[in-house]
Chains A and B, each alone.
Chain A
Amino acid sequence: MLKAGIIGLGKMGISHAAIVGAHPLVEFVAVCDVSSLVLDVFKKYTRVNTYNDYIKMIDKEELDFVVVATPTKFHYPIVKYALEKNIHVFCEKPFSLTSAEGVELVEIAKHKSLVNQVGYHNHFIGTFRELKRLLQENIIGELVHFTGEAYGPVVIKEKGNTWRSNPDEGGGCTSDYASHVVNLIQEVIARPLKINGTLLKSIYSKGVDDAVYSLLTLDNQLSGVILVNWSDETYRKMSTSITVQGKKGKIFCDATEIRIYLKDANEKENLEKGWTTKYITEFAIPVNFYLRGEEYSAQIDYFIDNVKNKKQGSYNTFEQGLYTDQVIEMILDKAKQN
């Protein structure tokens, strides 16, 4: 059995705790948070040990891995301490507050050969995996343009002073929502290399962006746009999509479906001329425990599997998370130049 601890018990941390707790290969031994309100619930209704100091938790428990789901600004010291104590780390996204911190963490993890993963869960959604495969199969020919979008109802009123409203703590829509889109483009299409322009908009928030619109060029010379707005209440929950146009067709993909338009039929892929729609039911990754979406369990299952086999996976490495942080920095820097 692998011994696990969770640091940071917000929405993602509690969700990870439930998934880790239900995993048959894991002994879930400890949680750490600064809220005594939350810790007391664990004390009263579970057998895990509770801590309000991650250093004490890591020093005292003999952990195989930790899940770090604190506000972004705490990722660096916590992840660094865990790695130095030879503990495998799953860290929520975005990975680090500054790329300088991220570079150091990537180095330590690599040097110590520790399994590392960042929580970009979209890569564990079957439709996005299918999009990547279809692009690798070159079914829409030479690529012409991409659009990456995410919309949702996170900040829909003027109020609130939480860490999310502080730009220095990674609180805006670009660091949060847009990092998912950037990371998807980076791993499914190609790495963004250059930012041609950025517009940031504060809609309800003060001091941070609620929407970001940016023109990107990728390392394969393909250019496209990201359109991200977390103050759009016409969406019930976060909705992320990628559209890629090629000379021979177009693909639209979100978490629920993939729609393919081809100028000519593709026999190998059994795709007809014109539109074909395929649903997540066909591509969902089977899991043993489900909470909020297969992808959340699938990413933890993948991480645990890699820890068990002491082998680094290829999905969502620290290095990939760091690259996304760097692109986010480039997008924000470009906005400052305007």
Chain B
Amino acid sequence: MEKILFGDNQFFAVNHVSDEKSRAQAIRFKDDDAIIKTLDISRKAGINTFMCTTHDRIANICDYMRANPEKYKDYNIFPCLPYAHKYANAVTELGIAGTLKQYVPGNFFGSLFKGGFAYLSKDYLSIMELLIDAEMKMFKGINTPVIFLQNVVTDMLLGLGMIDVLAAFHSYVEKKYNAEGGFITMNMPLLLEKLEIAGIENPIICSSINIAGFRMSGGKELYESVLKTKKLRAIAMQVLGGGAISPKEAIEYVCKLPNIESILFGASSEANINQTVNYIKSFNN
């Protein structure tokens, strides 16, 4: 993985410390051109990996990339599945069975409904695989060397103790997409402990790591000790604590920690992108 990964929160009105700012961003990135332009700026700054959700609009960006193969020949996308709000809103309205019915592709689920639930229990992992395939469709022909499971799903499965499902995700994306399965989480120490037990060695784990201790479950000290003593390929996100910490101080903190393989950040303006990249480069030396 490269040292710096470019994120997509700013494109889709996600801002963890300001709902107000997130709405302004939604207006700014209304057109796909605006997203492509910002990606170009990040590429110019030397970032060749875009870590993104499977938002409908990413499909348009992928179309553009496929139409311009020369421009993106060394470019990587790290998809993060699933786009959770789509499902969460559907579950509120339709319930779990209704949501699966709506989103599992083809007649697969319809036929299971007709057949009743009795034999269904063996096929949950097949349903998961179908959902992964449905979400991965938009990335056809694009380099996706790492595929992530979003934190809502990772952490839900972690809390429920369904570690086998996490392991199944990891092995399926390797088998089907020749990609490494990564995990986004808000509970990095606990997740690493469980993944180690499940036999997943040196996993790629993306989690909030910042000087403010924001969204670091169990506390900053615990994260620091895990990074010092355990084996993982950590990606630090929310390094700026959502924008409430001075960037220089925030990036210096993360760059000085051991075991941080990559830093994920997103920004809208050229000045902010270049500033963050420059800080990372300078503290990394």
8 A Cβ contacts from B118-135 to A: 120-121, 124
Asked whether B124 lies within 8 Å of A44 as measured between CB atoms, the reply is yes
CB pair A281 B212 closer than 8 Å = yes
Q: Name A21's contact: one of B97, B120, B121, B159 (CB within 8 Å).
A: B159
What interface size band does chain A fall in? 35 or more
Who on chain A is nearest to B124 by CB?
A: A41
Instruction: Determine if B187 and A154 form an interchain contact, defined as CB atoms under 8 angstroms apart.
Output: no
Asked if B110 is at the interface of the complex by the 8 Å CB criterion, the answer is no
| B88 lies within 8 A of A46 (CB) | no
In the bound assembly, the distance between CA atoms of A15 and B155 in angstroms comes to 10
Task: Evaluate contact between A40 and B117: CB separation under 8 angstroms.
Answer: yes
* Residue of B94, B120, B161, B217 touching A160 (CB-CB under 8 A): B94
Contact B219 A286 (CB under 8 A): yes
User: Is A37 a contact of B97 with CB atoms below 8 Å?
Assistant: yes
- CB distance B190 to A289 under 8 Å? yes
Return the chain A residue nearest B20 by Cβ.
A257
B12, B117, B159, B186 interface centre (most CB from chain A within 10 Å): B159
CB distance from A292 to the nearest CB of B (A): 6
Query: Are A164's CB and B159's CB within 8 A?
Result: no
Q: In the complex, what residues of B have CB within 8 A of residue A292's CB? A: 152
Q: How far is A280 from B21 in the complex, measured between Cα atoms in Å?
A: 14
A residues less than 8 Å from B284 (CB atoms): none
Contact of A18 among B12, B20, B160, B217 (CB under 8 A): B160
A46 contacts B160, C-beta separation under 8 Å: yes
Q: Is A66 an interface residue (CB 8 A)?
A: no
Q: Quick check: B19 and A11 within 8 Å, CB to CB?
A: no
A20 to B187, CA, bound (A): 15
A291 within 8 Å of B by Cβ?
Answer: yes
Cβ of B145 within 8 Å of any chain A Cβ, yes or no, is: no
A15 CA / B15 CA spacing, docked (Å): 22
| Nearest CB of A to B183, in Å | 14
Check if B22 is an interface residue, CB within 8 A of chain A. Answer: yes
Task: Give the docked Cα–Cα distance between A164 and B93 (Å).
Answer: 7
**A45–B158 CA distance with the chains assembled, in angstroms:** 11
Q: 1/0 contact trace for B260-285 toward A, CB 8 Å?
A: 00000000000000000000000000
Report which of B91, B124, B212, B241 forms a contact with A11, defined as CB distance below 8 A. Answer: B91
Q: Is there an interface contact between B159 and A288, defined as CB atoms closer than 8 Å?
A: no
Set B217, B242, B245: member contacting A289, Cβ < 8 A: B217
Stretch of A140-148, A180-188, A232-240 with 4 or more beta carbons under 8 angstroms from chain B:
A232-240
Within 8 A of A (CB), among B61-101: 85, 88-89, 91-98, 100
| Proximity string of chain A (87-104) to chain B, C-beta cutoff 8 Å, 1 when within and 0 when not | 000000000000000000
* Given A11-B91, A162-B98, A290-B215, A22-B159 contact (CB < 8 Å): yes
Contact B19 A257 (CB under 8 A): yes
A295 at the binding interface (Cβ < 8 Å)? no
B149 at the A interface (CB under 8 A): no
Assess whether B93 is in contact with A155, with CB atoms less than 8 Å apart: yes
Report whether A281 and B95 are in contact in the complex, using a CB–CB cutoff of 8 Å.
no
Decide yes or no whether B140 CB sits under 8 A from chain A. Answer: no
Structural contact, A154 and B96, CB atoms closer than 8 A? no
B88's closest neighbor in chain A, by CB? A11
A85 close to chain B: CB less than 8 A: no
Q: Which residues of B contact A284 (CB under 8 A)?
A: 214-215
- Taking a contact as CB atoms under 8 Å apart, the answer to whether A290 and B96 are in contact is no
Instruction: Name the CB-closest residue of B to A44.
Output: B121
Q: Are A291 and B156 in contact (CB under 8 A)?
A: yes
B234-253 contacts to A, CB under 8 A, are 241-245
8 closest A-B pairs (Cβ-Cβ)?
Answer: A18-B159, A290-B186, A22-B159, A45-B162, A281-B244, A40-B121, A279-B17, A290-B217
- Beyond the given pairs A14-B160, A284-B215, 13 more chain A to chain B contacts, judged by CB atoms under 8 angstroms and listed by A's residue number, are A11-B88, A11-B92, A18-B157, A19-B159, A21-B161, A41-B124, A154-B89, A239-B19, A256-B19, A257-B20, A279-B18, A281-B241, A289-B217
Chain B residues with a Cβ under 8 A of chain A: 12-20, 22-23, 26, 85, 88-89, 91-98, 100, 117, 120-121, 124, 152, 155-162, 164-165, 186-187, 190, 212-215, 217-219, 241-245
B-binding residues in A (CB < 8 A): 9-11, 14-15, 17-22, 35-38, 40-47, 153-155, 160, 162, 164, 234, 236-237, 239, 241, 254-257, 279-282, 284, 286-292, 294
